[in-house]
């Protein structure tokens, strides 16, 4: 069996799990997530523990087994605790500000970039740190990746938008490569 797939998922008391014939619904305090269960996978919920099993041992189904277990585990964690990603803006003149449900970025382009946050995702901005929170792990990660994509860190000065714990390897510039003047002459 899959190591990830055979791991039982413990459900906190404040989380309600509903199993249908081909769908699982996880909800807590107004947050609801749904996931379609593949036909080859069986999900059971007994005594506060979700168990996921597979019907056959084909490679494709073994992959679905681990994937389904991870997705359900993320759903339970999302509605009970939530997820967050932190981004850092590095560089002169680069800033972001929150206006309702959208973020306005000034990144040195000729125009500001306005990004509307998807439903279920919130943001908080403090100086040069953007914190994205939500209960759906996929939406939080996708939102952070889209924001980082506006201006990824460049390799010479390291300016741009990066994840807070991301390490940016800087390249040596022209003057650090060496040499001096090597051109022309008689």
Asked if pLDDT for residue 180 goes beyond 60, the answer is: no
Same domain, 112 and 58: no
Beta pairing partners, 151 = none
Is residue 175 included in any domain, yes or no? no
Tell me if 142 is assigned to some domain.
Answer: yes
User: What CATH number is given to the structural domain containing 51?
Assistant: 3.90.930.12
Whether the per-residue pLDDT at 138 is higher than 50: the answer is yes
Please return the burial class of 40, using the count of CB atoms within 10 Å of its CB with bins 0-12, 13-18 and 19+. middle
pLDDT band at 1 (very low <50, low <70, confident <90, very high): very low
**Structural domain ending residue among the three candidates 38, 53, 80:** 80
- Taking only the tens place, the pLDDT of each residue in 22-31 is 999 999 988 9
Same domain, 103 and 156: yes
| CA dist list (Å): 69 to 6, 11, 12, 74, 76 | 8, 13, 16, 9, 11
Is residue 177 included in any domain, yes or no?
no
What is the band of 132 on the pLDDT scale with cuts at 50, 70, 90? very high
**Same domain, yes or no: 87 and 148:** yes
Q: Give pLDDT, residue 29.
A: 86
Check whether residue 144 and residue 75 sit in a common domain.
Answer: no
> Which pLDDT does position 158 carry in this prediction?
86
Last residue of a domain, one of 29, 64, 80: 80
Does residue 90 belong to any structural domain of this protein? yes
Number of domains in the chain: 2
* Tens digit of each residue's pLDDT (9 = 90 or more) over 87-124: 999 999 899 999 999 999 999 899 999 999 999 999 99
Residue 169 lies in a domain: no
Q: What is the pLDDT of residue 181?
A: 59
User: Is residue 88 domain-shared with residue 155, that is, in the same domain?
Assistant: yes
pLDDT computed for residue 172 by the predictor: 84
In degrees and rounded to multiples of 5, residue 137 shows phi and psi of -60, -40
Q: Whose structure tokens read 């041992």?
A: 57
- Confirm whether 181 is domain-assigned: no
What global pTM score does this model have?
Answer: 0.84
Mean pLDDT computed over 153-175: 88
Asked whether residue 35 falls in the same domain as residue 71, the answer is yes
**What b/e string do you get for 66-87 counting C-beta neighbours within 10 Å, with b at 16 or more?**
bbbbbbbbbbbbbbbeebebeb
Average pLDDT (9-17) is: 92
Domain boundary among 80, 96, 122: 80
State the burial class of residue 14 (Cβ atoms within 10 Å of its Cβ: 0-12, 13-18, 19+). Answer: exposed
Give the range of the structural domain holding residue 69, as residue numbers without chain letter: 9-80
- Provide the pLDDT for residue 125: 95
Residue 27 lies in a domain: yes
Tell me whether residue 178 is in a domain: no
When the pLDDT of each residue in the chain is averaged and rounded to a whole number, the result is 90
């Amino acid at each position: 069996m899959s190591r990830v797939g055979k791991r039982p998922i413990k459900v906190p008391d404040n989380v309600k799990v509903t199993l249908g014939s081909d769908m699982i619904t996880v909800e807590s305090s107004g947050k609801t997530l749904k996931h379609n269960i593949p036909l080859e996978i069986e999900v059971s919920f007994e005594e506060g523990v979700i168990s996921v099993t597979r019907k056959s041992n084909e490679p494709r189904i073994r992959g679905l087994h681990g994937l389904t277990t991870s997705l359900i585990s993320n759903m339970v964690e999302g509605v009970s605790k939530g997820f967050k990603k932190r981004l850092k803006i590095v560089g002169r003149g680069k800033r972001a500000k929150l206006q309702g449900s959208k973020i306005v970025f000034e990144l040195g382009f000729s125009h500001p970039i306005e990004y509307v946050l998807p439903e279920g995702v919130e943001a908080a901005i403090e100086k040069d740190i953007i914190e994205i929170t939500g209960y759906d792990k996929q939406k939080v990660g996708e939102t952070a990746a889209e924001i980082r994509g506006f201006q990824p860190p460049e390799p010479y000065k390291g300016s741009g938008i990066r994840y807070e714990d991301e390490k940016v390897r800087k390249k040596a510039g022209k003057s650090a490569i060496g040499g001096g003047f090597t051109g022309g002459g008689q």
